[in-house]
């Protein structure tokens, strides 16, 4: 685990910038080099958010890093010491498990414009792709890119497919896609360069529930396959 100190977007080594950061820096970036498949970084993010809510003004998680911005007057080095202890020791952090979110996906026709591309790249049949994609047990590591967009870990790496050379200007809401080693869902219409392999009929984003997203960080997801008629019957349904 490395802790990097950030000031005005520039990274520095401890010995070089310690004096400056002591006075000026308000941000800490924590890089956990190893991939965190069990979601422990997500759990520690929630632990930090609650335990140090009066000392942290903003905290932004990713797959294997957390960026923390401190409140004015909080000692940088005391906080770093606490963070090192938290991340280097085996803490018993109990987080209430969220129920698994089961999402129907139509992998057919117009809803899956790139599934043939994924098939060609992976040398798997469309049936195999659907089987592997729906067999996965997925974890939402963080939200980003666009409102409510979940970065999901746990995809079978045999499905890995490079992103499109030219991103689409518009991707329909509900599109389920593969980008490199990740899978994701576009909860709202937006640009995007991932390979679209299906679409869910469910409405997965509500502007009135920004603090309680349908697809929350730390949530677990499973996909299951539906046909076009089932898609039409459930189109626009709230999750």
Which residue, of 29, 61, 88, is where some domain finishes? 88
| Whether residue 41 sits in one domain with residue 137 | no
CATH number for the domain including 44? 3.30.1360
Pairwise CA distance, residues 194 & 174, whole Å:
13
Q: What is the DSSP letter of 208?
A: G
Statement to judge: residues 6 and 69 lie in one domain? yes
Q: What is the reported pLDDT for 132?
A: 97
Question: Which parts of the chain sit beneath pLDDT 50?
Answer: 1-25, 32-37, 91, 93-95
C-alpha span between 207 and 204 (Å, rounded): 10
pTM of the model: 0.69
User: Both 144 and 223 in a single domain?
Assistant: yes
Domain assignment present for residue 95? The answer is no
Vertex 128: Cα angle to 123 and 131 (nearest 5): 145
User: What is the pLDDT, as a whole number, of residue 149?
Assistant: 87
Alpha-carbon distance 192 to 189, whole Å?
A: 9
Rg (CA), the chain: 20
Helical segments of the chain, H only = 14-24, 40-51, 76-88, 115-122, 126-135, 228-234
Encode pLDDT of 87-100 as tens digits. 665 545 444 556 78
Q: What is the pLDDT of residue 76?
A: 67
Confidence at residue 6, expressed as pLDDT on a 0 to 100 scale: 44
71 and 165 housed in the same domain: no
Q: Are residues 113 and 226 in the same domain?
A: yes
What is the model's pLDDT at position 9? 41
Last residue of a domain, one of 33, 64, 88: 88
Give the span between the Cα atoms of 37 and 170, in whole angstroms: 31
| CATH of residue 139 | 2.40.100.10
pLDDT at 228: 94
Same domain, 83 and 139: no
On whether both 205 and 126 belong to a single domain, the answer is: yes
Does any domain span residue 165? yes
pLDDT recorded at residue 117: 97
Structural domain harbouring 52: 2-88
Kindly state whether residues 75 and 151 are assigned to the same domain: no
179 found inside a domain: yes
Look at residues 32, 57, 88 and tell me which one is the last residue of a structural domain. 88
pLDDT for position 35: 44
Q: What is the pLDDT of residue 102?
A: 93
pLDDT tens, residue by residue, 160-180: 999 999 999 999 999 999 999
Do 57 and 164 reside in the same domain of the chain?
Answer: no
Tell me how many domains the chain contains.
Answer: 2
155 and 213 fall within a common domain: yes
Cα–Cα separations (whole angstroms), residue 101 to 8, 122, 176: 39, 27, 15
C-alpha dihedral, 213 to 215 to 220 to 221, nearest 10°: 160
Q: Apex CA 58: angle with CA 8 and CA 100, to 5°?
A: 130
Q: Do 208 and 134 sit in the same domain of this protein?
A: yes
Question: Could you tell me if 127 and 27 lie in one domain?
Answer: no
């Amino acid at each position: 685990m490395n802790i990097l100190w950030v000031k005005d977007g520039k990274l520095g080594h401890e010995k070089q910038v310690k004096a400056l950061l002591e006075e000026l820096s308000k941000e800490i970036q924590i890089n956990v080099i190893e991939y965190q498949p069990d979601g422990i970084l997500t759990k520690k993010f929630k632990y930090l958010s609650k335990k140090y809510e009066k000392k942290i003004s903003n905290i932004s998680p990713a797959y294997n890093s957390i960026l923390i911005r401190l409140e004015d007057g909080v000692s940088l080095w005391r906080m770093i010491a606490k963070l090192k202890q938290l991340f280097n020791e085996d803490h018993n952090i109990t987080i209430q498990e969220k129920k698994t979110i089961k999402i129907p996906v139509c992998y057919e026709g117009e809803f899956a414009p790139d599934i043939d591309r994924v098939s060609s790249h992976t040398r798997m049949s469309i049936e195999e792709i659907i089987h592997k994609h729906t067999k996965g047990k997925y974890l939402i590591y963080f939200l980003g890119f666009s409102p409510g967009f979940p970065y999901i870990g746990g995809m079978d790496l045999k499905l890995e497919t490079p992103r499109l050379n030219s991103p689409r200007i518009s991707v329909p809401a509900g599109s389920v896609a593969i980008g490199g080693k990740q899978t994701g869902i576009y909860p709202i219409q937006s640009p995007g360069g991932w390979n679209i392999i299906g679409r869910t009929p469910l409405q997965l984003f509500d502007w009135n529930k920004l603090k309680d997203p349908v697809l929350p960080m730390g949530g677990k997801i499973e996909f299951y396959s539906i046909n076009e008629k089932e898609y039409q019957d459930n189109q626009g349904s709230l999750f």
